[in-house]
Amino acid sequence: MLNSGVFEKSRTVKRNEIVKPPGTVDTDIYLIESGSLKIFVTDDSEERIIRFGYAGNIIVSLDSYLSGQPSELCIQAIKKTELKIASKSAFNAFINEDEKRMQVWIFILEDLILQQTEREIDLLTNSPKERFERVLKRSPNLFQEIPDKYIANYLRMSPETLSRLKKS
């Protein structure tokens, strides 16, 4: 419903190419047609992945998109990715035209907030095994779409720990 014509631009992003650099304002919203992206922040030169996106997902540096302020979040391609892009003004006009579109957008935002809250609780309270099991239950496709080294970073564990958990 949200992809019907509002995503007026297309872009092919090469592996490792930056879609949104840190310190910039994100005025676009992206629909992933194929490939995969990661959103991360750099902490003492170490990458901290906070979200993934793959085919069918909408992805955006939400803090910047909503506030209009620069964000330290970076969006980068994990592999070659085909994107459809909607500007914030076009997207807002599109969702404001129809109550059903607005309801879908609100549902997407609510779901994102719930996912983020669940993730924060996982990282603060659960063991690596519990984090792995919850992500596997919540997003089983993740393990087909995203290389293990990125999933391990996302789960805040070593690649060796992730490998051991996948085998058990």
Whether 22 is in a domain gets the answer yes
Residue 15 forms part of a structural domain: yes
**Over the stretch 20-51, which tens digit does the pLDDT of each residue have?**
999 999 999 999 999 999 999 998 889 999 99
CATH of the domain at 21: 2.60.120.10
Is residue 26 assigned to a domain?
yes
| pTM of the predicted protein model | 0.90
**Structural domain total, the chain:** 1
Assigned domain for 71 exists = yes
**Does 65 map to a domain?**
yes
The band of 118, judged by pLDDT with boundaries at 50, 70 and 90, is: confident
pLDDT of res. 1: 57
Which residue type sits at 102?
M
Range of the domain at 65: 9-90
For the range 161-166, what are the long-range contacts, defined as Cβ-Cβ under 8 Å and sequence gap of 24 or more?
A: 161/128, 162/132, 165/128, 165/129, 165/132, 166/132
